[in-house]
Amino acid sequence: MSNYKQAIIVRKDLGMGTGKIAGQVAHAAVQAAHKIRIYNYEWYNSWLYDDDPPQTKIVLKVNSSSELIKLTHEIPLNYLAFIHDAGKTQIEPNTLTCIGIGPLPNDVIDPIIKDLKLL
CATH code of residue 47: 3.40.1490.10
- What is the pLDDT, as a whole number, of residue 87? 87
**CA–CA distance, 35 with 43 (Å, rounded to integer):** 11
Find out whether 58 and 7 touch, Cβ atoms under 8 Å: yes
- What is the pLDDT, as a whole number, of residue 59? 98
Beta bridge partners of 105: 4
- What is the pLDDT, as a whole number, of residue 69? 95
Instruction: Lay out the sheet containing 4-11: strands in order across.
Output: 80-84, 96-105, 4-11, 57-62, 117-118
Domain of residue 77: give its range. Answer: 4-118
Read off the pLDDT of residues 68-105 as tens digits, 9 standing for 90 and up.
999 999 899 999 999 999 988 889 999 999 999 999 99
pLDDT value at 16 more than 80? yes
- What is the pLDDT, as a whole number, of residue 105? 96
If one counts the domains in the chain, the total is: 1
